[in-house]
Amino acid sequence: MMKRIALILMAVALVTPAFAQVQNITVGGDLAVTGLYRNNFGIGTLADVSSNWLMSQIKVWLKAQVTDDISVVASIINEKDWGTEVLKTPPLANEITLNEAYVSLKNLMIPGMSLTAGRQEFVIADGLVASSQIYRPALYPVLLGAPDLGWQKAVEALKVGYENETVAVNVIKSKLYDNPFAAWIPIPLKDVDMYVADVAFNLGMFKLEPYATLVKANLGIDLWTYALLVKVSPIEGLAISGEYAMQNGDLGDIATVDFEGKAFNLGVDYAFAGGMKPRVSVGYALFSGQDAGADISAWIPVAPAGTADRLGKIATAVVGPLGEGVLSGGVKAFRAGVGVNPTEKMGVDLKLFYLLSDEATTDDIGTEADLGLKYDLAKDVSVGLDLGYLWTGDFFGAADNAWQAIASLKVSF
């Protein structure tokens, strides 16, 4: 026991000078317990199968302000479906995972220049094309019954930026996949990297953001995406945004085939003045599908964020990912929403989506309604209820409709 105490005192003595060099340390986090009921989420394959379960999530983050211009951020996450403790194989363990771990250097060499290095979160423009988030459920780092509700949204990246009052420039290299055995095992499974160049102009009521991404994969695959986001706020409460993206590049050594996908998102939001904060929104999104040509005309998702806001929560979880499987024919999505705060502590939002296939002959994917209610029990404690229903169209033949009910309790600390 005395030996153990001596070791602890020695460790404290070693770390005390390090803490003395830090100006400020902030610790916080979020905890959520969620109950889910989902019916017919296997449309066309697992007809009318229902599932219900509980899930818990906790995220703890720490920020150390070393100097005015240097900070270090780290966060860990545990996400698990209740009753899965027996699944202790590493891919299924639902153990604590590292979400963020990066250092941020500001005013590097010149005022406004910055460097962020390490595992970090980011979203480019409105997230139509690129972010740090994991889009495909099969690649989520832990086994969850609802990976679409997961909190892990960070990736290893280097980000160099410059910002002043009118312009912000960011250049990013992120590691989407790393094969550590490439040097010893001659298999065609090399690194998959994403490069981003983003320039955002703030011109008062106008905001322009052109950007480009490049995904380099094994066997010489190069997927380029060029995009432009335009935002206009002509009057108070009104926001109009449009984001357009087009892809090119080729499959390299695999085939003489080019990428030609296109995506577009338009949104109009208006928040009325008043104590109940009424709000309305309309929008349209297009993701091109595969036509009869030899080239890849289907939109290939890079690393998007906010897809559920464009397609609906159920459609995103059930019929995605875009460009694959049943959605290789693309999607045209019309949306409308209304919201109000009946009381200071309560918010209610209703969103409707109408989905069509871009290329399929039988094009009616379905209509979705999502109702969300949130009530603040205290400053950092809230409960929520999400109800959703997807009326499937003739695209799915005689498949039954899908629906979900999600209740949650969330605490921030």
How far apart are the two ends of the chain, measured CA to CA in Å? 35
- Listed residue (301, 299, 298, 283) closest to 353, CA to CA: 283
**Residue 141 contacts residue 134 (beta carbons within 8 Å):** yes
**Residue 84 contacts residue 92 (beta carbons within 8 Å):** yes
Q: For 204-297, list the strands marked E by DSSP.
A: 206-216, 222-232, 238-250, 262-271, 279-287
**Residue 222 contacts residue 252 (beta carbons within 8 Å):** yes
Q: DSSP assignment, residue 68?
A: S
**Residue 32 contacts residue 142 (beta carbons within 8 Å):** no
- Listed residue (269, 299, 4, 291) closest to 128, CA to CA: 299
Backbone phi and psi for residue 250, each to the nearest 5 degrees, phi listed first: -155, 175
Strands 402-412, 238-250: pairing is unpaired
* Residue 371 CA to its chain's centroid (Å): 21
pLDDT of residue 64: 96
Sign, CA dihedral 86-89-94-96, equals positive
- Listed residue (317, 231, 302, 230) closest to 261, CA to CA: 302
pLDDT of residue 217: 83
Rounded CA-CA distance 402/48 in Å is: 8
What domains, with CATH codes, occur in the chain?
A: 22-412 (2.40.160.100)
3-state secondary structure of 13: helix
Q: Is the peptide bond before 321 cis (omega within 30 degrees of 0)?
A: yes
* CA separation, residue 183 to residues 179, 189, 218, 371 (Å): 9, 11, 14, 51
Give me the average pLDDT of each 10-residue run along the chain (413 residues).
40 44 86 95 70 95 95 96 63 74 95 97 96 83 88 95 97 82 52 93 96 89 96 96 96 86 97 93 94 88 92 86 66 96 96 90 89 96 97 83 96 96
Backbone phi and psi for residue 230, each to the nearest 5 degrees, phi listed first: -125, 130
Backbone phi and psi for residue 5, each to the nearest 5 degrees, phi listed first: -65, -40
Rounded CA-CA distance 391/317 in Å is: 14
Instruction: Give CB contacts under 8 A, 24+ apart, made by 316-323.
Output: 316/148, 317/41, 317/137, 317/146, 317/148, 318/41, 318/43, 318/390, 318/402, 319/43, 319/365, 320/137, 321/135, 321/136, 321/137, 322/287, 323/261, 323/287, 323/298, 323/299
Backbone phi and psi for residue 90, each to the nearest 5 degrees, phi listed first: -45, -45
